[in-house]
Amino acid sequence: MDLISFPYDRSFVLEALRHGDIDYLEPVSEAAEADLFRHLIRRQVIQRLAETYPTPRKKEEVPVWIYLSSELTLKLHGAQSYHAFPRILRSGGLIEALGPELGGRKTPHPETGDVTLACPGFNDKNEYDRQTPCDQDFLRKFAHDTKTDRLHAWFNREAPRCLRSLGLFDSEGLFIGDASYLFATPPDDHCMNSFMYALSCSSWRSVVSPIT
């Protein structure tokens, strides 16, 4: 397996661009992701979704919309574990979109180029400097404690209603299903209520079959 590493060195890149010293150029997702989250936050999309989300917490110490934003950035980067959250924040655009009051700041080390995050957080419980808006363990516990049936109902009722009210569906109330990824489930009791769609590109029909 080939591993390609991109060091974080903004000044080096800018200087190379000024002199035309470019061997290979590839776009990264930090700016695009930041624009996406700025748009979602400015239009109150995430906040509106959070209003009806079936939160398992009676006391809200961390805003639910921060949890949803964190889950979204993990999904955008294809992360399979909450342990990847600090790494994703360093390479993604959520911190930039949240701004210094909520997301804190990214600071690259002048010699090593390592990126350090300093975030204000939402309470005074931590005895150490925060490097993320919320802890990765908070995300894991929040997701684990959310009731499955209530989450399914939210995805099928409140979430579509919210997205429709914001004009994010087309005139017929439809959205595009991207079949470029396969969703494979292990033999798990939590997956028994899932359904698998077989899409036909020629006839634009879908066949729904339950996963057993």
Question: What local confidence, expressed as pLDDT, does residue 211 receive?
Answer: 45
Question: What local confidence, expressed as pLDDT, does residue 96 receive?
Answer: 86
pLDDT at 193 over 80: no
Which string of b and e fits 72-96 if b means at least 16 CB within 10 Å? bbbebbebeebeebeebbbbbbbbb
Q: For 75-86, write each residue's pLDDT tens digit.
A: 888 887 899 898
The Cα–Cα gap between 123 and 103 comes to 14
- % of the chain beyond a pLDDT of 90: 24
> E strands, 1-52, where?
none
Spell out the domain ranges in the chain.
Answer: 10-171
Question: What local confidence, expressed as pLDDT, does residue 114 receive?
Answer: 73
The Cα–Cα gap between 64 and 49 comes to 9
Pick the closest to residue 91 from 117, 120, 127, 65 (CA basis): 117
pTM of the model: 0.68
Question: What local confidence, expressed as pLDDT, does residue 47 receive?
Answer: 94
Q: In whole numbers, what is the pLDDT of the chain averaged over residues?
A: 77
Over residues 37-66, the mean pLDDT reads 92
Pair of tokens at residue 175: 């959205």
pLDDT at 143 over 90: yes
